[in-house]
Chain A
Amino acid sequence: MKRVYVNEAWCLGCHLCEYNCAFANSGLDDMVLALKGRPIYPRIHVEEADKITYAVSCRHCEDPICVKSCIAGALSKEDGVIRIDQEKCVGCFTCVLVCPYGALAPNKDGVMQKCELCLQNTCGEPACVKGCPNKAIVYEERGEAL
């Protein structure tokens, strides 16, 4: 299955992926309108530590602990993609507590959101990948589960 992978060596820490993600999932076709003057709630997050930067989004685990832990049955796995039904989510944060990648976070209304590989928006391919200026983020197949 194709997943989003990030190569630390090429991540510039520019945070464009976060903005592209927030824009792609805004439902708007104007980035300025979507993002100007307000905090953003991206589904990808740039991890930064001493000289290291890389972006993290949902790994779409083979054995997704978030899905198994969701009290509302809002998280599910369809064709390998971990989806969230935001209507069902009650904002209990159990998924935040269990995800070992820190890939889930609430939106501005406290409802959980996560990377769904831009399958639910009009982007066509993951916006973080498309917009990464250094191809640090790629969308590709990397073989079987460990």
Chain B
Amino acid sequence: MMKEGQVRIPSGCAIAAVVSREGKRMSGEMITNAMRPMHERSNGLGGGFAGYGIYPEYKDFYALHLFFDTRDTRKTCEAFLKEYFEVVHEERIPTRKIPEITDEPMIWRYFVAPLKSMLASLQVDEKEMVARAVMKINTEMKGAYVFSSGKNIGTFKAVGFPEDVGVFYKVEEYEGYSWTAHGRYPTNTPGWWGGAHPFTLLDFSVVHNGEISSYDANRRFIEMFGYKCTLQTDTEVITYILDFLTRTQGLTLREAANVIAAPFWSTIEAEQDEAARRRLTYLRTVFPSLLVTGPFSIVLGFTGGLMALNDRLKLRSMVVGEKGDKVFISSEEAAIRTMEPDAEHIYAPAGGEPVIVKVKEGAY
């Protein structure tokens, strides 16, 4: 069978996330446990976590997490990295041997900074250079795959049920102010470590539950701007769209949400506020190919916060709750109750209505 990248993979899933508005760091154990009651939403073919604020000691460096098939691949890749980056630290990512998780590749992490000379000669900024390097490794270096590439953020994913993946990666040993998690139910793949979620690019990580019907329209549009959808998954294309809209086009998260889950024209026309109407019309007109249709619920993690978003018809479940400074997001309320039995204000956001949670400035 073909794996991610050779064929388009639609899948159903479970997602969960938690963020502390005060920037208080939480152990990964809570998010791991949150996935347990949603066991049925996954099928053991992929699970993963992204934690923000987990590498405070290396917070000024890009943390690259890589899978390698072979030692040779690792050597080649490391040589490539060192051409462009200063590698301040490299190590195997610590894991536990458990029977539920097998056939693991070599899993390494590198804390890097782009070489100034390279930035000058390529005439790009840091982020663009990191993004290009990631694209290059993932598309051109067979057997090597970058699955995390942001600053002070780490993604941990594997083939298996998410709660087992958490144990495997010792996620409870990391502390972050924000966590996202994903359990996967792909419908036509043998499962591949790189294909598990969260999907990340720089500090963006996306967990997604759904199967978008606009996929190829979105993909063929976004690929005009240097992105390569190698995995052919929804998560990947949504991550690139958000990166394009916010980083390249400079839209705010809310504006970006208004593009990908644009209100219906009838809603826009009913909008009383003239400026809002003009803005929404403008965004839909300029980026029609980035409208995402079909069911999805996503949580976007970024430095300093989370954004949760449902498709505009709300064809996938997603609930939000809070307690104290913590905000919880999940496919099912049970997951939230696992994290915080006394969670309050639990509600299901409307389709297309972005829920944006920002961590207090300076607290991350």
A–B contact with Cβ pairs below 8 Å: the answer is no
